[in-house]
Amino acid sequence: MQRILLTGASGFIGKYLLKALQSPSYNNLYEVIALASEPVDGCTTVLRKNFQIHKEDFRSLGIHQIDIVIHAGAYTPKDKMGMNDLANNNNVYSTDSLLNALPGKVKQFIYLSTLDVYANADGIISEDSQVLPASLYGMSKLYCEFMIDSWCKQQSVKYQVLRIGHIYGPGEERYKKLIPVTISKVLNKERPEILNDGIEKRSFLNIHDCIQAILASLVLEDSGNVINIVSGKSYTVKEIISMILEISGKGIEPVYKTITATPRHLVFDSTKMESLLHREAVDFRLGLEEEIKGFRS
């Protein structure tokens, strides 16, 4: 049985990953150790303080070997203002601390990065798109990619970089993003806002598809892959809000607000993910229905 260290086990994606790894399909293959700021139910937890971790934190728990690292933990902005919040962007320091503290000989490292490493540009975004972060958050995640690439090559560790796209599903309520904000407003009988005519396209991948893609990366043979974890399907903002309104059954109409702005589409090429890891399976409308049900429970 291999031992996995999962950072960010209490986060949106981390909670789903932990549940999947502890399911009957995986719990006879892997023992999961969580790295978090507070104890995580159901597994041994290595506690970090102020985003720092030391070798002694592992030794004190009798942990002398980690086989696989899934580094999902990071400061993730909850809104646009947080993208450049210097006080909270500790991703570089925490990743450096982790790399220096890992016990034993790590065999594999999976890093969950972000699409925010790409330049702001129109067109379909793929792994070949220009890398030019427009925020401190994006720059910190890109720098962590470089650090992990260098460390893994020096240590002869197989690694994958998964650039996580726009993920939706139950549990994302605290993020001020299109889907959770719209659902919250509609269920509170508030009219959602559509800017201009709502023609901007957005692509969202369901959390269950995201988890399956991450799990599939555990058995990739090649090292050094950079893969976008994204949906290849897109919908206009107006279509997404209309679906939420219809599913909710609230009989509410959206409010149209005119602003001066050039429409920017966020559309992705999922070819690499679907060929190497996982083919998107969750229907978008059914995924929205599940999330709305989660809000109501």
Tokens in use for 77? 């902005």
| Per-residue confidence (pLDDT) for residue 261, from 0 to 100 | 78
pLDDT at 79: 64
What's the pLDDT score for residue 175?
A: 83
Which domains does the chain show, CATH number per domain?
Answer: 2-164 (3.40.50.720), 178-203+233-268+281-296 (3.90.25.10)
**Does residue 81 carry a pLDDT above 80?**
no
Q: What is the mean pLDDT of residues 202-227?
A: 97
Residue 211: predicted pLDDT: 99
pLDDT higher at 174 or 78: 174
Q: Which residue has the higher pLDDT, 66 or 49?
A: 66
pLDDT level of residue 82 (50, 70, 90 thresholds):
low
Task: Give pLDDT tens digits for 130-188.
Answer: 999 999 999 999 999 999 999 999 999 999 999 999 999 999 988 889 999 999 999 99
Per-residue pLDDT at 80: 67
pLDDT digits (tens, 9 = 90+) for 237-280: 999 999 999 999 999 999 999 888 788 899 999 999 999 999 99
282 three-state secondary structure: coil
Query: pLDDT class for 121, splitting at 50, 70, 90?
Result: confident
- pLDDT attached to residue 87: 57
Are the beta carbons of 43 and 70 closer than 8 angstroms? no
Q: What average pLDDT score do residues 2-10 get? A: 96
pLDDT of residue 97: 95
Mean pLDDT of the chain: 94
Q: Write out pLDDT tens, residues 34-50.
A: 999 899 988 999 998 88
pLDDT-derived band at 86, boundaries 50, 70, 90: low
Question: What local confidence, expressed as pLDDT, does residue 37 receive?
Answer: 87
Burial 145-181 (b: 16+ CB within 10 A, else e): bebbbebbeeeebbbbbbbbbbbbbbbbeebebbbbe
Average pLDDT over residues 227-232: 98
Distances (CA, A) of 232 to 79, 123, 199: 24, 13, 17
Contacts 24+ apart (CB under 8 A), 249-254: 250/186, 250/187, 250/189, 252/186, 252/189, 252/190, 252/191, 252/192, 253/191, 254/191, 254/192, 254/193, 254/194, 254/198
Whether the pLDDT of residue 17 is over 60: the answer is: yes
Q: Give the SS3 label for residue 9.
A: coil
- Coil, strand or helix at 117: helix
Cβ-proximal residues to 240 (8 Å cutoff; 6+ apart), any chain: 178, 179, 182, 202, 204
